[in-house]
Amino acid sequence: MPKETYFTPATIYGKAREMLASVSEYRRRHENIALHPARVALLVLDLQDYFLDSSSHAFIPSAPAILPGIRSLIAIFAKNHLPIFFTQHLNTPENARMMAKWWQDLIRPEGEGSRIVADIDSSTSIILSKSQYDAFYQTSLESDLRARGVGGIIVTGVMTHLCCETTARSGFMRGFEVFFTIDGTATYTEGLHRAALLNLAHGFAVPVLTDEVLTAFGEAKYS
């Protein structure tokens, strides 16, 4: 599958707003689901060298463009002492299950690609290891969120249509309000990104821009 650079620093602002407009009909139906800053947690999924290092076969060309927005979200959550959860996707032959059959490749704990990218600050975050697309599957994420009184989650990271979408659906099924960042997630092609947004906006999550989240906290926009 040919990869696409559909987000760049120069295009992400306009492109994300156009994507939001394309699913606005579904968002309007759920205007009663509002983002309450004191009750949300930030999820940062799989920002690892495996996906962000341009020399990796799994590099996501649009991913570098989403990092400034994610950094701004991390900063505001840290400032307000709100929970931030990073995930690292890590596999062994024992826990990979269908991941190994499907991809014929593993992100091994000892591999260079397993590391969270150095230019994202995870020092104020809880870091969870996961072995499947779903960040809730066989992790402490749900219990950690409930212990902190969290009612909503903001999803960022990679890939839009795999780990991000699956985690968003799983969060919904567990009773969390899900806010899915259009310009805080990325994947291999624009078509896959748009398909995930359409599916989620219809049945699982409120699509948002990172600027909208910052505005809810009374912060200046990052863009």
Convert the pLDDT of each residue in 69-90 to its tens digit: 999 999 999 999 999 999 999 9
Query: Which residue, chain included where needed, has tokens 């690609």?
Result: 113
For the cut 60, the answer to whether the pLDDT of residue 156 exceeds it is: yes
Q: 36-216: which CATH number, 3.40.120.10, 3.30.830.10, 3.40.50.300, 3.40.50.850?
A: 3.40.50.850
Token output for 144: 């950690």
Q: Phi/psi of residue 76, each to 5°? A: -75, -35
What band does 219 get if pLDDT is binned at 50, 70 and 90? confident
Question: Which SS3 state, helix, strand or coil, does residue 172 take?
Answer: helix
pLDDT-based confidence at 189, cuts 50/70/90?
Answer: very high
| CA-wise closest residue to 39 among 173, 145, 123, 125 | 145
Query: Given the structure tokens 């599916």, which residue do they identify?
Result: 199
Mean pLDDT, to the nearest integer, of 27-42? 93
Q: Which letter, b or e, does each residue of 64-77 get, where b requires 16 or more Cβ atoms within 10 Å of its Cβ?
A: bbbbbbbebbbebb
What is this structure's pTM? 0.96
Spans of all domains in the chain: 36-216
